[in-house]
Amino acid sequence: MYKDKLNKLADFLDGLDESKFYFGSVVDKWVGDGRENLCGSVCCAIGWAPTLFPDEVQWMKGAHDNLAYNGNAQLSYGEIGAKLFDIPFWDAEALFSPNSTHMDDDEAYRWDEWGIHILYEEATPKELAANIRNYITMIESKDEHKQQEKNLSEVPE
pLDDT, tens digit, for every residue of 99-126? Answer: 876 655 555 457 777 888 889 999 999 9
C-alpha distances in Å from residue 11, one per residue of 103, 120, 127: 26, 20, 12
Answer yes or no: are the C-beta atoms of 145 and 137 closer than 8 Å: no
Residue 40 region by backbone torsions, left for phi larger than 0, else alpha for psi between -120 and 50, else beta:
left
Give a yes or no: residue 154 inside a domain: no
Give a yes or no: residue 156 inside a domain: no
Answer yes or no: are the C-beta atoms of 41 and 59 closer than 8 Å: no
Give a yes or no: residue 152 inside a domain: no
Give the Cα separation of 67 and 37 in Å (integer). Answer: 11
**Which of 60, 7, 65 lies closest to 37, judged by CA?**
60
Give a yes or no: residue 153 inside a domain: no
pTM: 0.82
Give a yes or no: residue 135 inside a domain: yes
Give strand pairing partners of 43.
21, 27
Between residues 89 and 42, the one the model is more confident about: 89
Give a yes or no: residue 51 inside a domain: yes
Three-state DSSP class for residue 88 = coil
* Helical packing angle, 3-15 and 77-85, nearest 10°: 120
Specify the pLDDT at position 26: 77
Per residue in 9-49, pLDDT (tens digit) is 999 999 999 998 989 877 766 565 555 555 556 688 998 89
b/e 38-73 (16+ beta carbons within 10 angstroms → b) = eeebbbbbbbbbbbbbeebbbbbeebbbbbbbeeee
For the chain, what percent of residues have pLDDT higher than 90? 39
If one counts the domains in the chain, the total is: 1
Give a yes or no: residue 157 inside a domain: no
Question: Domain residues for 27?
Answer: 3-147
Give a yes or no: residue 16 inside a domain: yes
